Amino acid sequence: MNSKTSEMERLARQLYQSNRHRLDLLAGDKPETAVQLPVDRLFGTKPDWSRSVRLGKGDVRYSKHTKDTVSFLPVRWQDELDRGGSLWSGCENWWAGYPLIAWVSIKAADDGVAGHLKFNAEVGPVSDHKVRKGLIKALAAAACAEGSERIRFPAGATDRGRLYSRFLHASAIDLADIRDTNEVERKLVQLVAAFEPEIELVARAIRQFLDAGAVPAAAR
């Protein structure tokens, strides 16, 4: 291949990347994200709850995924939450069936090519208001005690009737191309790994909450 041909191919690729979104629209194709292939690579082509996989610096259990989201439960959280048993009533049919869930979502920028990944976690619909409130307060107190600025609950998170409360912040990472499978996979792992301190903090807070005996007392 001569240098002239190589230069023409380089310019052609550059032109396509610069106008990719418009060309896709003209072709009648909707831009698609590259979540499915990273999920296949990270969790297996037929992922299920029964086996844990390594994600970032810790093990997680797969919950479910859509075209733009994959959810999972860190095994450290599961180990601690299992000690609570029926205290988490109300969450049986919510995500993985536990009062906590984590997920990574992908969102395209206006040009349809670039975008970002966002990592989040949420406390779900625990039926007993005292239990749910106590769990949130335990997580918030642990974050405050350890100086974590990336775990914060919104105002009113412990109000009666509130069912869902997200709590991770500063948890996004940019993508140059949302359809670049390698980039999406690499940065998804990078993002979750960066939050390993918060994942461990949550696990410790759950353990301390249960060890304190506050949950059984509140559940009576």
Provide the pLDDT for residue 51.
87
Domain ranges of the chain: 1-30, 32-219
Is residue 73 a contact partner of residue 102, using CB atoms and an 8 Å limit?
yes
List Cβ<8 Å contacts ≥24 apart for 211-217.
Answer: 214/134, 214/138, 215/84, 215/87, 215/131, 215/134, 215/135, 216/87
Task: Give the orientation angle of helix 181-194 with respect to helix 36-43, to 10 degrees.
Answer: 60
Give residue 50's pLDDT.
Answer: 87
> Dihedral, CA atoms, 171, 168, 68, 179, nearest 10 degrees?
10
Three-class SS of residue 124?
coil
80: amino acid identity, one letter: E
pTM reported for the whole predicted model: 0.82
55-81 pLDDT tens trace: 999 999 999 999 999 999 999 999 999
DSSP string of 55-82? Answer: ETTEEEEEEEE-SSEEEEEEHHHHHHHG
Q: For position 217, what pLDDT does the model report? A: 45
- pLDDT tens sequence for the chain (220 residues): 556 656 665 665 566 555 554 444 444 444 456 688 999 999 999 998 988 999 999 999 999 999 999 999 999 999 999 999 989 999 999 999 999 999 999 999 999 999 999 999 999 999 999 999 999 999 999 999 999 999 999 999 999 999 999 999 999 999 999 999 999 999 999 999 999 999 999 999 999 999 987 554 444 3
Rounded Cα distance between 70 and 106, Å, is 9
User: In the chain, how many H helices and how many E strands?
Assistant: 8, 7
Give the count of beta carbons closer than 10 Å to the beta carbon of residue 15: 11
How confident is the model at residue 9, as a pLDDT? 59
